[in-house]
Chains A and B, each alone.
Chain A
Amino acid sequence: MISYDFEYFKPSSIDKAISLFQSLDQQGKEPIYFSGGTEIITLGRVNKIKTGAVIDIKEIPECLVLKRESNKLTFGAAQTLNRIRESQYFRFLNKAIGEIADHTARNKITLGGNMCANIIYRETILPLLLTDSQVIIAGPGGLKQLPLNEVFDQTLRLQRGELLIQIMIEEKESELPFLCIKKRRQWDVGYPLMTIAALKKDQQIRFAFSGLCSYPFRNEKMDGSLNNQALPKEARIEEAMRQIPAPVLKDVHGSEDYRRFVFKNTLLDVLDTIGGTEIE
């Protein structure tokens, strides 16, 4: 049960959502967009998210698009993880989705909600960062299309009142060989320890990580070290580990040393396997 009250709105267009946000903001209601709502409800229950108004985006047609057209894949931000997975358009993203939460929860969790969530893992970001996807963002000034890599730095850098509408990727990017390995401390479900995603393009392997630091990331220096053919694999990994851009997490799921240990061994597995074919 959420102890505080909020108002609930369900606009049917992007313009209505954006102007609603502005007017509620001016009234001091601290509005937030509501997609799957799973994080808003669970964090709201423990007072970690407080708001006077939520704007449900699940009736905005653009946010529900799911299509393959003109060599492009488009995913509406309010599409559920299960619908996206069942569309079978993008196997790398599907692999990441299949590891998030559980099947029933994925009937509610949405792609945009996962990308914009407060939770540190946000694993859907990994394949999207590696395949140079684009995001469509709406704001008071209209729509803009930007490379995700430009607007994602620890979080999706949205201005106040901006709304993520869609995510687009080139179909050919979705066909590249990939690997996505999620490590948990125990069992097959439950919260992750870390996820390592890798994509092979032009004989180079790109890497992205979740659960290693307090945000998901891709790092060029680490990519450089891991692709340095002049060094044996273990030395490449040692070098990459010196470039980790933020403190390694320590929490109930694992100490810093344990995370480093798992990270190193998983990277070794990745380097051993992604040399050849696509693995799911």
Chain B
Amino acid sequence: MNKSEITLNVNSEERSVYVRHSDTLLYVLREELGLTGAKPGCLNGDCGACTVDVDGQAMKSCLMLAIEAVGKKITTVEGLQNIPLKTAFIKKFAFQCGYCTPGFLMNSNSLINNYPQADDIQIKDCLESNICRCTGYKEIEEAVKSVLADGSTGNGNY
């Protein structure tokens, strides 16, 4: 097994790590860097549980190689500190088992940052990228809309 050293900028920290070139970003974040916030679900790009932020865009980390992320700024749910979105998720009961929550938070954070004036169509278009097995969609949508209505921004490496 050939491994080589790469440096990833994760949550504003430079992290050196040995990877196989075929390792996905999801695998490296969880298994090599101990950042278990991004969740493995389908591993096929369908569920969004593994969503992180790469250079300001929501990204399914099971669809990206770790080596592709060299030179980019990666934010995982561990890097989202004290943001109104998290409070809104709590206030609106926007989770049940919580497995999909990190993915929804990352995707919603990117939505709020990139489309602060998002209308219902844009919100639906973005949120459709994630699946919630407990089907808490309405509450998640309400949480996101409440933050957009407040005009508060998310955070991450922007």
Q: Tell me the A residues contacting B by CB distance below 8 Å.
A: 1-2, 4-8, 36-38, 41-42, 44-45, 54, 56, 58, 82, 98, 101-105, 107-108, 188-190
Rounded to whole angstroms, the CA-CA distance of A6 and B3 in the bound complex is 10
Q: B17 contacts which chain A residues (CB < 8 A)?
A: none
Interface size on B, residues (CB 8 A): 30
CB of B13 closer than 8 Å to a CB of A: no
Q: Are A7 and B128 in contact (CB under 8 A)?
A: no
Instruction: Give 6 A-B contacts (CB < 8 Å), ordered by A residue.
Output: A2-B22, A7-B2, A8-B67, A45-B43, A104-B48, A104-B129
Interface string of B97-133 (1 = CB under 8 A from A): 0000000000100000000000000000110111000
- A1-B27, A8-B65, A105-B129 known; 14 new pairs, CB 8 Å cut-off, are A1-B24, A5-B2, A6-B21, A41-B62, A42-B43, A45-B44, A104-B48, A104-B58, A104-B60, A105-B63, A107-B58, A108-B63, A108-B64, A188-B128
Q: Tell me the B residues contacting A by CB distance below 8 Å.
A: 1-2, 20-24, 27, 43-46, 48, 51, 57-60, 62-65, 67-68, 107, 125-126, 128-130
A-B pairs with lowest CB-CB distance, top 9:
A104-B129, A102-B129, A8-B21, A2-B22, A104-B58, A107-B57, A103-B126, A38-B63, A189-B128
Among B45, B64, B107, B125, max chain A CB count under 10 A is at B45
Rounded to whole angstroms, the CA-CA distance of A2 and B46 in the bound complex is 17
Q: Are A42 and B63 in contact (CB under 8 A)?
A: yes
Q: Give which listed residue, A1, A8, A54, A101, contacts B45 with CB less than 8 A.
A: A101
A contacts with B: majority SS = loop
Rounded to whole angstroms, the CA-CA distance of A123 and B96 in the bound complex is 36
Rounded to whole angstroms, the CA-CA distance of A189 and B46 in the bound complex is 10
Q: Are B128 and A42 in contact (CB under 8 A)?
A: no
Q: B129 contacts which chain A residues (CB < 8 A)?
A: 102-105
Rounded to whole angstroms, the CA-CA distance of A105 and B125 in the bound complex is 12
Q: A190 contacts which chain B residues (CB < 8 A)?
A: 46
Q: Are A104 and B125 in contact (CB under 8 A)?
A: no
Tell me the nearest residue of chain B to A107, going by C-beta.
Answer: B57
Rounded to whole angstroms, the CA-CA distance of A36 and B128 in the bound complex is 20
How close is A10's CB to chain B, nearest CB, in angstroms? Answer: 8
Q: A188 contacts which chain B residues (CB < 8 A)?
A: 128
Q: A56 contacts which chain B residues (CB < 8 A)?
A: 68
Q: A6 contacts which chain B residues (CB < 8 A)?
A: 21-22
Q: Are A105 and B68 in contact (CB under 8 A)?
A: no
Q: A4 contacts which chain B residues (CB < 8 A)?
A: 22
Q: A103 contacts which chain B residues (CB < 8 A)?
A: 58, 125-126, 128-129
